[in-house]
């Protein structure tokens, strides 16, 4: 234990090095300085204690501890508090952090942990070592869910022996600040949070094995091989916390459904979830209402209500609610939908706080390529006049219905507008360049890969575009629990066991979560949707001197992940039973990830025989979860995990981010010795990114949060043409390529622009 008294002591695992520097404690200046300790008492300044802390924080890192001491000594004054000394040390370390000496961010992280340990010691009287007492106190104070008392005092004492405080020392400054400010409860230490989550996740296991699984969960989570999604890590320990990350609801064309789903959106927001709301069924502007022609105000007024709900129900004061609103591209209100976040026009028909998404069928994309006409229609009129319910249709069914609609324009169909598909797509692109949105969801690609076609359809995507499944208004609302594999910390031989643990953690989460409304619980029970994702691909590539153009190696990695996760869900079905909607699903027909045949896997996989055996096993035993893998953006979680976000290239090898605590250095973990192999996304041709994501998508059964980053400066992508900058057609070609290559969605489109004063990234996620 590093801190076992109120005095500063150093544990036996820390190496204390005497640098032979000046003995400041013997100087007259040091003798005259009184320090105010955390307990309020004063004592003479003891430089040797500071030196011990500095040496401990710098131990094993490629930094010079004397430089940190030298930076601090000019800041000492009479009456300074130990907290101020610690903060000054942290600031000194952060100021010295740069691309040549990036390890200073780890020194600052350790110093922050030191302060956390000291504060905890002062406020509750002990640090690590008395976990059972912490549990008892936190349950009594209402901080911990009483379900932790499923475990006996003896079991909690055994769990206490697993705690490894050294894992607290692996965080850089950005990671530990986020961890302590966003996820830890007052007077709670990091390993206690991870251990409590692990015990709760294991409590659905049978008594004879639950401690064994709890330990496996703890070691995978605490060593940062598995990253729990924010709702799980933040809410699992607290009473009545919702653990689900992603939701999708769909609104029917009536007042009851509209206000019911607005209420459900509020419930989701209250519990910290993100939600996708599909509004394609709502009648268009100018449609009839109660027999009165031209009475409908269209989708925008209802979107505005969703917008205001997101602001009002602000996730317990932490941040505004997060709502993406989806509209099919054939809807008559699409042009106004694209303008609802511009400054000009009627402010009563604006919605600045939602995230728009457009749902695009293949037929629209083909017409974009061919510069053909596209027809915008009112779903209410189409259903009333032609008996065609357009929103659920995709693929050949949609194309057949759409041709019937277009054949009746001007006769039976009166409310419509014809536009050039290419020009409409340009309008979409302009909005993306200006605001980063709308997100794009490729409806046919998504639904072709839906294993539950027999039981419904997927209307759109969730807030981060990676998670989706069947949604039925008033019956089933998509909900999904997420974790991510940290590829930066994962060795190849660990992939199978970590994938198995990740699937088990999420299946257990379904059992213990408290969905915020009935339709979400019904979906949870019927489909058991989970999402095992990945982060740190850029780090995994850097470790092996690979680049994003090494598609075969990337494919092999994600083939393993896809196989092991799918196999784990099959094994759980063997143990616990298949998900209730399994019969009739594509899984039950012998199809595998992406609803591809076994023959496809035998042609495209690097390890071919295992896929046929897996298909046979799933047909015999079923599969526990209808959707298993999904790769989220992980923008904040990756900082806590100490890796690059998601599967995308790092934005920059080293940069400072502006936080409330000042500027914080951000860099990937292997930057010091692998600089060249980190490809900076701001300089990388995005077609290369799209091709890599498309390869990964083959092995991921749900979706991937694919951001695209376009640098508009001259000479970035065309070294032989230094005056050439990216053109609109280049962005167009990349978006078309993402559809053609089988990507399921496009998340944010981000733009890098530079003037003579600064380089900035606009329209960024998070």
CATH of 482-762, one of 1.10.150.120, 3.40.50.970, 3.20.70.20, 3.40.50.620: 3.20.70.20
Q: What is the pLDDT of residue 37?
A: 84
Q: Provide the 3-class DSSP secondary structure of residue 760.
A: strand
Residue 545 to residue 551: CA distance in whole angstroms:
13
Please give the DSSP secondary-structure letter assigned to residue 128: T
pTM of the predicted model, to two decimals? Answer: 0.92
Under a CB-based contact definition with an 8 Å cutoff, are residues 283 and 378 in contact? yes
Range of weakest confidence among 162-171, 265-274, 422-431: 265-274
Tell me what the mean pLDDT of segment 11-16 comes to: 33
Could you give the C-alpha distances from 233 to 112, 184, 194, 226, 445, in angstroms and in order? 20, 9, 8, 11, 32
- Please return the burial class of 521, using the count of CB atoms within 10 Å of its CB with bins 0-12, 13-18 and 19+: middle
Provide the pLDDT confidence category of residue 115 given band limits of 50, 70 and 90.
very high
pLDDT at 11 over 50: no
Q: Which residue is catalytic, options 188, 261, 381, 466?
A: 466
Fold equal for 246-446 and 482-762:
yes
pLDDT at 9 over 50: no
Q: Which helix (H) or strand (E) holds 247?
A: strand 246-250
pLDDT at 22 over 60: no
pLDDT at 33 over 90: no
pLDDT at 47 over 90: no
Provide the pLDDT confidence category of residue 13 given band limits of 50, 70 and 90.
very low
Under a CB-based contact definition with an 8 Å cutoff, are residues 741 and 713 in contact? no
Neighbours of 128 (CB within 10 A): 21
Tell me what the mean pLDDT of segment 138-145 comes to: 96
Q: Which residue is catalytic, options 59, 160, 271, 462?
A: 462
Under a CB-based contact definition with an 8 Å cutoff, are residues 692 and 554 in contact? yes
Mean pLDDT (the chain) is 91
CA angle 108, 667, 680 (to 5 degrees): 170
Under a CB-based contact definition with an 8 Å cutoff, are residues 693 and 709 in contact? no
pLDDT at 685 over 90: yes
Neighbours of 26 (CB within 10 A): 9
Query: 698 CB contacts (<8 Å, ≥6 apart)?
Result: 555, 558, 593, 594, 604, 742
- 575 counts as catalytic: no
Distance of CA 287 to the CA centre of its chain: 39
Under a CB-based contact definition with an 8 Å cutoff, are residues 328 and 377 in contact? no
Q: Which residue has the higher pLDDT, 658 or 124?
A: 124
Tell me what the mean pLDDT of segment 84-113 comes to: 93
As given in the structure block, the two tokens for residue 208 are: 């004879």
- 464 counts as catalytic: yes
Q: Which residue is catalytic, options 464, 499, 565, 567?
A: 464
Tell me what the mean pLDDT of segment 386-398 comes to: 98
Provide the pLDDT confidence category of residue 27 given band limits of 50, 70 and 90.
very low
Provide the pLDDT confidence category of residue 756 given band limits of 50, 70 and 90.
very low
pLDDT at 24 over 80: no
Enumerate the domain spans of the chain.
1-123, 128-223, 246-446, 482-762
Residue 683 to residue 716: CA distance in whole angstroms:
6
- 721 counts as catalytic: no
Could you give the C-alpha distances from 281 to 253, 384, 385, 702, in angstroms and in order? 6, 13, 15, 24
**CATH (residue range 246-446):** 3.20.70.20
Range of weakest confidence among 15-19, 659-663, 698-702: 15-19
pLDDT at 96 over 60: yes
């Amino acid at each position: 234990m590093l801190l076992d008294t109120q005095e500063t002591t150093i544990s036996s695992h820390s190496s204390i090095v005497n640098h032979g520097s000046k003995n400041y404690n013997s100087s007259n200046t040091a003798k005259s300085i009184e320090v105010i300790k955390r307990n309020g008492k004063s004592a003479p300044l003891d430089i040797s204690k500071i030196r011990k802390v500095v040496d401990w924080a710098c131990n094993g890192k490629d930094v010079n501890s004397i430089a940190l001491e030298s930076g601090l000594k000019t800041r000492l004054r009479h009456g300074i508090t130990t907290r101020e000394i610690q903060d000054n040390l942290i600031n000194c370390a952060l100021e010295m952090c740069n691309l040549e000496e990036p390890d200073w961010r780890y020194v600052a992280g350790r110093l922050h942990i030191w302060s956390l340990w000291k504060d905890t010691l002062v406020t509750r009287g002990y640090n690590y070592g008395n976990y059972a007492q912490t549990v008892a106190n936190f349950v009594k104070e209402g901080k911990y869910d009483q379900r932790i008392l499923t475990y006996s005092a003896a079991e909690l004492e055994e769990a206490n022996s697993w705690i490894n405080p050294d894992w607290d020392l692996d965080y850089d400054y950005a990671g530990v600040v986020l961890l302590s400010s966003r996820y830890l409860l007052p007077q709670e230490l990091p390993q206690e949070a991870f251990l409590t989550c692990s015990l709760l996740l294991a409590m659905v296991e049978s008594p004879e094995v639950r401690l064994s699984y709890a330990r496996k969960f703890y070691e995978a989570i605490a060593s940062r091989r598995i990253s729990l999604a924010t709702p799980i890590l933040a809410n699992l320990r607290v009473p009545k916390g919702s653990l689900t990350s992603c939701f999708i609801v769909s609104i029917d064309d009536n007042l009851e459904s509209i206000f019911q789903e607005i209420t459900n959106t509020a419930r989701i927001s209250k519990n910290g979830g993100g939600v996708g709301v599909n509004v394609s069924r709502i009648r268009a502007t100018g449609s009839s209402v109660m027999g009165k022609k031209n009475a409908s105000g269209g989708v925008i007024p209802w979107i505005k209500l969703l917008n205001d709900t997101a602001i009002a129900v602000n996730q317990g004061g932490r941040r505004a609610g997060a709502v993406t609103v989806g509209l099919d591209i054939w809807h008559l209100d699409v042009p106004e939908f694209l303008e609802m976040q511009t400054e000009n026009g009627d402010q009563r028909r604006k919605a600045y706080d939602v995230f728009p998404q457009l749902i695009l069928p293949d037929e629209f994309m083909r017409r974009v390529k061919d510069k053909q006409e596209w027809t915008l229609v009112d779903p209410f009129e189409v259903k009333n006049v032609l008996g065609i319910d357009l929103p659920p249709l995709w693929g050949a069914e949609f194309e057949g219905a759409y041709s019937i609609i277009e054949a009746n324009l001007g006769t039976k169909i009166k409310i419509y507008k014809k536009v050039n598909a290419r020009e409409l797509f340009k309008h979409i692109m302009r909005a993306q360049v200006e605001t980063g949105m709308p997100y794009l969801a490729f409806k046919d690609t998504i639904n072709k890969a839906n294993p539950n076609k027999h039981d419904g359809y997927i209307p759109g995507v969730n807030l981060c575009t990676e998670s989706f499944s069947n949604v039925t208004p008033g019956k089933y609302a998509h909900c999904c629990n997420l974790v991510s594999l940290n590829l930066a910390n994962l060795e190849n031989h660990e992939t199978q066991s970590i994938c198995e643990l990740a699937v088990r953690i999420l299946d257990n989460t379904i059992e213990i979560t408290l969905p915020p409304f009935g339709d979400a619980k019904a979906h949870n029970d019927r489909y058991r949707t989970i999402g095992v994702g990945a982060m740190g691909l850029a780090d995994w590539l850097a470790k092996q001197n690979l680049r994003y153009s090494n598609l075969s190696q990337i494919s092999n990695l994600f083939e393993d992940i896809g196989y092991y996760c799918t196999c784990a869900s099959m094994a759980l079905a063997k143990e616990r039973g298949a998900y209730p909607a399994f019969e009739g699903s594509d899984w039950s027909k012998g199809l595998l990830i992406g609803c591809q045949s076994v023959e496809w896997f035998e042609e495209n996989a690097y390890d071919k025989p295992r896929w046929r055996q897996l298909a046979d096993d799933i047909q015999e035993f079923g599969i526990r979860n209808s959707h298993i893998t999904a790769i989220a953006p992980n923008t904040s979680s990756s900082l806590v995990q100490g890796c690059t976000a998601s599967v995308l290239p790092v934005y920059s090898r080293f940069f400072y981010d502006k936080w409330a605590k000042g500027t914080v250095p951000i860099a990937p973990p292997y930057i010091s010795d692998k600089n060249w192999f980190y490809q900076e996304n701001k300089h990388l041709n995005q077609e290369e990114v799209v091709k890599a994501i498309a390869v990964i998508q083959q092995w991921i059964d749900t979706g991937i949060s694919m951001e695209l980053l376009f640098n508009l400066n001259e000479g970035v992508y065309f070294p032989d043409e230094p005056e050439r900058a990216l053109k609109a057609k280049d962005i167009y070609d990349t978006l078309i390529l993402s559809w053609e290559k089988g990507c399921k969605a496009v998340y944010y489109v981000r733009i890098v622009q530079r003037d003579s004063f600064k380089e900035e990234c606009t329209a960024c996620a998070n």
